[in-house]
């Protein structure tokens, strides 16, 4: 099951309904669906608060293609203040307009259990001096099934390496290599699992449970973990998955570089994180005075160029120049996006010739080709 299929069951959960096991399992293991569920919970609280104030809500008009319309001039709002917002997902917004103002849901979101159908184990290791590392280990990709740590625990320097060997239902077999070393010592053989001085232990580990591994003079290492449905792009200090959603584009205070020189700083327009909220049919739209308009999308747009994505950078070549967006957070799970640059674009109002960020809906005009539905 994918997010678009599971999404309709999120509101059913908050209405106290029983949903199919496949949907419940997906929502329990999918960060994007869990975020949507939290949005519903927060929405329910806010709706009950506003209802208590007896304020009438105005229902916006709908367009012929059944999408809720955006304000006619979104630029004006962005010029009033730096915009760093978390937009309500369309599913939640539609539910609000339909009048679901009595969401009395107290459902608790729990972590994925040991019997998950996830394919990645997010492994956390703690030593006597505190946390050592958080590492995702894939059960499907051998190139992403190993992680290393080198550091000091007490008076010892420890080299620590974990490789996921196999999976049996809800548990995995780990090969744990450890050895102490002297600073400056050559550890190249250790990184290739060929160090005769390394101690090797194979242990079965079940995510959701704690496992202690004795490492001689260093003491014990404690392993914990949870299942995930993807390999995180970036892991926070305490194991948080900081990856974008499956269909999300995300920008945090981006810079635009042209031929390695900064030509645009959007920190004022995006003071927090601007996100397409997992909607692949939306493109991020940026305007930078002197550089024109940029549309960035996961879909191949007409006249757009392909751009490479690496963590928080989008790189492409266009018009004889090299371009790069550098942002403060991972941009996308995809390694490629499309960029439509319109260097001659100007805002209609001369007084609004300042940097802004918005989103624009894309429509398909032919097989494999998309364009903005309100292309300037």
Q: Where are the alpha helices (DSSP H) in 157-290?
A: 188-191
63, 97, 131: which is the final residue of a domain? 97
104 within domain boundaries: no
Is residue 140 left, alpha or beta, with left meaning phi > 0 and alpha meaning psi from -120 to 50?
A: alpha
One domain, residues 263 and 368:
yes
366 within domain boundaries: yes
Query: Which segment of 38-47, 222-231, 334-343 scores lowest on mean pLDDT?
Result: 38-47
Instruction: Indicate if the pLDDT at residue 160 is higher than 80.
Output: yes
Predicted confidence at residue 72, as pLDDT, reads: 38
One domain, residues 184 and 285:
no
Predicted confidence at residue 315, as pLDDT, reads: 95
One domain, residues 128 and 209:
yes
Whole-angstrom distance, CA of residue 78 vs CA of residue 169 = 50
Q: Domain residues for 21? A: 3-78+86-97
**Burial of 66 from C-beta contacts in 10 A (0-12 / 13-18 / 19+):** exposed
One domain, residues 264 and 364:
yes
One domain, residues 161 and 262:
no
- Chain-centre distance for alpha carbon 76: 29
pTM assigned to the model: 0.43
Predicted confidence at residue 107, as pLDDT, reads: 31
336 within domain boundaries: yes
Q: How far is CA 243 from CA 149, 180, 182, 278, 294, in A?
A: 22, 34, 36, 12, 23
The total number of structural domains in the chain stands at 3
- The secondary element (H helix, E strand) that includes residue 13 is helix 8-14
144 within domain boundaries: yes
One domain, residues 224 and 254:
no
254 within domain boundaries: yes
Instruction: Indicate if the pLDDT at residue 242 is higher than 70.
Output: no
Q: Domain containing 162 — which CATH number?
A: 2.60.320
Whole-angstrom distance, CA of residue 329 vs CA of residue 137 = 22
One domain, residues 151 and 219:
yes
Q: Are strands 321-326 and 292-297 parallel, antiparallel or unpaired?
A: unpaired
145 within domain boundaries: yes
One domain, residues 224 and 256:
no
């Amino acid at each position: 099951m994918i997010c678009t299929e599971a999404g309709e069951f999120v509101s059913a959960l908050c209405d106290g309904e029983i949903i199919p096991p496949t949907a419940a399992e997906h929502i329990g293991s999918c960060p994007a669906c869990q975020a949507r569920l939290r949005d519903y919970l927060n929405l329910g609280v806010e709706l009950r608060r506003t209802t208590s104030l007896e304020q009438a809500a105005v229902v916006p008009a709908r367009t012929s293609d059944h999408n809720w319309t955006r304000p006619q001039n979104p630029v004006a709002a962005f010029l009033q203040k730096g915009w760093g917002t978390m937009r309500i997902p369309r599913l939640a917004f539609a539910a609000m307009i339909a009048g679901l103002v009595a969401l009395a849901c107290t459902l608790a979101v729990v972590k994925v259990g040991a019997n998950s159908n996830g394919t990645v184990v997010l492994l956390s290791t703690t030593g006597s001096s505190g946390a050592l590392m958080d590492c995702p280990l894939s059960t499907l990709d051998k190139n992403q099934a190993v992680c290393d740590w080198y550091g000091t625990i007490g008076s010892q320097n420890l080299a620590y390496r974990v490789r996921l060997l196999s999976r049996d239902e809800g548990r995995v077999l780990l090969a744990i290599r450890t050895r102490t070393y002297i600073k400056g010592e050559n550890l190249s053989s250790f990184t290739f699992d060929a160090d005769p001085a390394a101690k090797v232990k194979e242990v079965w580990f079940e995510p959701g449970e704690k496992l202690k591994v004795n490492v001689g003079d260093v003491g014990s290492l404690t392993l914990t973990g949870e299942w995930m449905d993807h390999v995180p792009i970036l892991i926070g200090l305490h194991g948080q998955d900081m990856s974008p959603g499956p269909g999300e584009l995300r920008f945090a205070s981006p810079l635009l570089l042209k031929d390695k020189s900064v030509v645009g700083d959007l920190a004022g327009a995006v003071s927090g994180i601007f996100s397409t909220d997992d909607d692949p049919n939306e493109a991020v739209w940026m305007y930078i005075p002197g550089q024109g308009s940029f549309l960035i999308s996961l879909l191949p747009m007409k006249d757009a160029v392909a751009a490479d994505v690496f963590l928080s950078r989008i790189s492409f070549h266009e018009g004889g120049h090299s371009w790069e967006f550098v942002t403060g957070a991972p941009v996308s799970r995809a390694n490629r996006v499309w960029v439509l640059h319109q260097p001659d674009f100007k805002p209609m109002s001369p007084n609004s010739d300042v940097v802004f960020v918005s989103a624009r809906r894309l429509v398909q005009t032919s097989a494999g080709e998309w364009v903005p539905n309100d292309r300037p």
